[in-house]
Copies of this chain bind each other. A is one copy, B any other.
Amino acid sequence: MTRATVITVSDGVSAGVREDLSGDALEGMLTDAGFIVGRLVVPDEQDRIADAIRSAAGSSALVLTTGGTGFGPRDVTPEATASVIEREAGGLVHLMLARGLESTPMAALSRARAGSVGSALVVNLPGSPRGATESLAAIMDLMPHVLDLLAGHTEHHSGEPRSGG
């Protein structure tokens, strides 16, 4: 069983005045996929978000954020993420955007980042339940392989020098 943490970034959820529909939806998807899921909620404060990511990456193989990736004045999740990740994962961001744009041009409003912190993968997802779950669905099938590689399981089964790198 692999541990994942969902970090909900939202002033409203943090203050208890908004339901965390996106966090709940992501937890459901991850549980169905066999993850043990932890949850964190933080307001749209860059330091708080960065601390939550760092903390979650210490105990989870997969860290998903939802919220704070847009153009609102307080949307700083990508900036917090960029300050923490050690190696950017531009291909995963590309795949999420490409799939999202098949649904709606509004997907282009995402400023999401992804990358690794130690052996954990951190991925920003949009704040809406639909945007968050569609973005996660776009990369879900790749997660076992990515998390295996991050954990140092770099055996090659394909006969090629590297299977994906």
Chain B residue with Cβ nearest A109? B164
**Contact of A119 (CB < 8 Å), options: B22, B73, B116, B129:** B73
**A139/B108 in contact, CB under 8 A:** yes
Smallest Cβ distance from A95 to chain B, in angstroms? 4
**Contact of A130 (CB < 8 Å), options: B101, B107, B146, B160:** B160
- Residue A5, interface by CB 8 Å: no
Chain A: residues with CB nearer than 8 A to chain B? 10, 12-13, 18-22, 67-73, 75-76, 78-79, 87-95, 97-98, 101, 105-113, 116, 119, 121, 126-131, 139, 141-142, 145-146, 149-150, 152, 154, 158, 160-165
**New A-B pairs, 8, CB < 8 Å, besides A73-B154, A94-B101:** A10-B162, A20-B161, A71-B146, A71-B149, A72-B149, A90-B110, A109-B164, A127-B160
**A161/B70 in contact, CB under 8 A:** no
State how many copies of this chain the complex holds: 3
**A149/B70 in contact, CB under 8 A:** yes
Q: Which residues of chain B are within 8 angstroms of A130 by Cβ–Cβ distance?
A: 160
